[in-house]
Amino acid sequence: MTTLYARRTSSIALLITMLASLSIKAQSTLEFTSSSASTTASGPSIASQAVTFYENRTNGSYAAFSSPTTTVTVSLSNQQYTMSNSQISTRTGSAFGAGNNSFGNSASSLNFYMQMNAIGGASAGNFTAAGSLTSGTGISLTSNYGIEIFNSALALQNAGRSTSGRWYMADLTIAFNTPVNNPVIHLAGLGATSSSLGFTTEFDLVTSNVSLSKLSGSSELTVTSTSILNNAANPAATTGLGAASGSVLVTGSNITSITFKMYMRGDGSSSFWSLLGHAGDGFLLSASTSTSSISTLPVGLTGFTAALENNITRLNWSTAIESNSSYFDVEYSTDNNSWMTIGTVQAAGNSTTGRTYAFTHTHPAAGNNFYRLRMIDQDGTFTYSKVDEVSVEEPSRITFYPNPVRSSCTVNTNSTTPQSLSLLTLDGRMLLQNNSFVSGGSIDLSRYPNGVYLLVLRSATGKSEVLKIMKD
């Protein structure tokens, strides 16, 4: 009897295990596939990249998901380095669809959207499609795709940054058009080399009320609650041999955007970030989540945009259907982290036809301005829209002394951010250029004859200010 009871117990346990396994496998996930975005468009570009989630069904096929249609938009902001147009057409240290060039200083052009095996040599087992799945499952290197992002080592070389330092490059924001719970971020190929120098991209979390953890990945990938790191002492380009690849779970509810500060870290094994050509760290970013993690909006929001007109932000949004909606809070932030309500717009309540809404923000701040909607239902429940952004150019002010100049002069601006400063003749001939000029620096005119010259300061966004300077 004891033996029979033990066998029955063992059989029941096995059955429970099998049913649990089937339940896990039956859960569908939303992923980046070949149908989610253009697979032929190429860069370099700093335009935000939008990808539509497709459902990975249990039979291995992919289908459009409309409950609701969910998109992911990846954007770059707060660029820290300005480069020349001959080095990269975006003139920025970070870009989409850019790559190394061993034969010249101009960054190469790559597709914005690639298969997950295109960069870094990761294996499918490095990735996990959702937090509820078995580690190392649910992602295909050929069926799943990622957005290509490039951090230029040449930008750090131009700025004279130490090759053993860790340097802030830009902000990276991942925004969802509808709130999601516990999404997963996939990274392939964090790490590269230039001559003998190893370097890698790393991330520090800016967004509050969420935390990070490692689902799966190579031994180089280290994830804390607030950072994604490559722990290799000597980063390299191949996963398992110095490059970090894997999946990061973002734990949080009703997430509409996740922002990171993006860094480049060098191992100091060479004095040069980019000795020949244009070197950098190109990697792939993808995302996924379970279908059950998509939050239901209180209204059927079909669009939300922020546009700058004459230094005034005009917000417009529309709904396809509303059921027991109450009102919209317009929320505003200058860092995409701390938010304040700047206005309220009444909702239709109940509607089966399309509705449009508008709001004007008359005093956006200089720099980056972020906007979102908090959509409140009549029972008090609420969800958030995606985040949209406008950038307001800060009026530049240039002063220099002495005036007139005898040998050298000091130039001051209202910005400490490195900018491009050029000295030209009146007929436009370039005499000198500094692509990482910081306010308070000096320029030497001692070798030029007396006369009038043009001083041109170009901001990180491309805006130029020109002053005449007299050498006596």
**pLDDT tops 60 at residue 39:** yes
Cα of 361 vs its chain's centroid, Å: 25
pLDDT confidence bin for 367, thresholds 50/70/90: confident
Q: Give all strands (DSSP E) within 112-226, no chain letters.
A: 113-115, 145-152, 166-180, 184-190, 192-194, 197-205, 211-217, 221-224
Contacts of 340 (CB under 8 A, 6+ apart): 331, 332, 333
Q: How far apart are CA 178 and CA 68, in angstroms?
A: 8
Model pTM? 0.66
Predicted pLDDT of residue 351: 83
**pLDDT tops 70 at residue 27:** no
- Which of 285, 284, 286, 282 is CA-nearest to residue 109? 282
Cα of 173 vs its chain's centroid, Å: 4
The CA-CA-CA angle for residues 282, 288, 294, to 5°, reads 145
Predicted pLDDT of residue 245: 98
Q: pLDDT of 231-249, one tens digit each? A: 999 999 999 999 999 999 9
Predicted pLDDT of residue 396: 61
Q: pLDDT of 144-184, one tens digit each? A: 999 999 999 999 999 999 999 999 999 999 999 888 999 99
User: Do the bridges between strand 221-224 and strand 166-180 make them parallel or antiparallel, or are there none, so unpaired?
Assistant: unpaired
Asked if residue 226 lies in contact with residue 210, where contact means CB atoms within 8 angstroms, the answer is: no
Asked if residue 74 lies in contact with residue 265, where contact means CB atoms within 8 angstroms, the answer is: no
User: Do the bridges between strand 388-392 and strand 408-412 make them parallel or antiparallel, or are there none, so unpaired?
Assistant: unpaired
**pLDDT tops 80 at residue 462:** no
| More confident: 78 or 351 | 78
Helix (H) or strand (E) holding 435: strand 430-437
Report which residue type is found at 435.
N
Angstrom CA distances, 147 to 39, 174, 262, stand at: 10, 11, 15
Structure tokens belonging to residue 57: 């069904």
Region 214-221: what's the mean pLDDT?
98
Predicted pLDDT of residue 369: 95
Q: pLDDT of 110-149, one tens digit each? A: 999 999 999 999 999 999 999 999 999 999 999 999 999 9
Q: How far apart are CA 148 and CA 128, in angstroms?
A: 19
Domain 299-392 matches domain 399-471 at the CATH topology level: yes
| More confident: 243 or 8 | 243
Q: pLDDT of 322-343, one tens digit each? A: 888 999 999 999 988 889 999 9
Cα of 319 vs its chain's centroid, Å: 27
- Which of 199, 309, 191, 321 is CA-nearest to residue 246? 191
Q: Is 299-392 in CATH node 2.30.110.10? A: no
pLDDT confidence bin for 260, thresholds 50/70/90: very high
pLDDT confidence bin for 10, thresholds 50/70/90: very low
CATH no. for 399-471: 2.60.40.1930
Q: How far apart are CA 207 and CA 259, in angstroms?
A: 6
Q: pLDDT of 316-325, one tens digit each? A: 999 887 888 9
The chain-wide mean pLDDT, for the chain, equals 88
Region 299-307: what's the mean pLDDT?
87
Domain ranges of the chain: 23-293, 299-392, 399-471
| pLDDT over 90, % of the chain | 61
